[in-house]
């Protein structure tokens, strides 16, 4: 069953979050350009991309699998945000702001995935 990913709040929020990550990482040291910056940006892009890719799959079971991948990218990104704070690249306030926004996306992804899984049983 196809879903219109552009209408999903979780996709919209993931897109906004990816943009926020791109903005935040612009101020990271140049030596992180091919390290933490690229990792964070890839994870940030992966989340809405997997939601979109999964929405085009033919079954809800496949869609749930892509939501699971998106959720994994979101947890990976949370770790990278925490590391960014530990390395002094972002403030505690920015770390908390980003983490709270990301936690909201993680909850939406988990809930959506669970709902789809329960509907396919």
Q: Are 112 and 9 in contact (CB under 8 A)?
A: no
Q: Give the three-class secondary structure for 113.
A: helix
Q: Where are the alpha helices (DSSP H) in 7-59?
A: 9-25, 36-55
Domain count, the chain: 1
Residue range of the domain that includes 36: 5-119
- CATH code of the domain in which 22 resides: 1.20.1440.60
**Range list of β-strands (E), 24-112:** none
- Per-residue confidence of the chain (121 residues) as pLDDT tens digits? 567 899 999 999 999 999 999 999 999 999 999 899 999 999 999 999 999 999 998 888 999 999 999 999 999 999 999 999 999 999 999 999 999 999 999 999 999 999 998 887 6
Is the Cα dihedral 96, 99, 105, 110 positive or negative?
A: negative
């Amino acid at each position: 069953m196809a879903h219109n990913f552009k209408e999903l709040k979780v996709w919209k929020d993931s897109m906004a979050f990816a943009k926020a990550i791109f903005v935040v990482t612009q101020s990271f040291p140049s030596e992180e350009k091919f390290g933490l910056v690229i990792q964070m940006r890839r994870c940030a892009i992966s989340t809405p991309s997997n939601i979109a890719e999964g929405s085009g799959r033919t079954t809800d079971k496949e869609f749930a699998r892509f939501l699971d991948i998106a959720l994994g990218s979101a947890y990976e990104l949370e770790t990278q945000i925490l590391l960014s704070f530990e390395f002094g690249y972002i403030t505690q306030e920015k770390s908390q702001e980003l983490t709270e926004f990301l936690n909201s996306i993680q909850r939406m992804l988990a809930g959506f995935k669970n709902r789809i899984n329960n509907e396919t049983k």
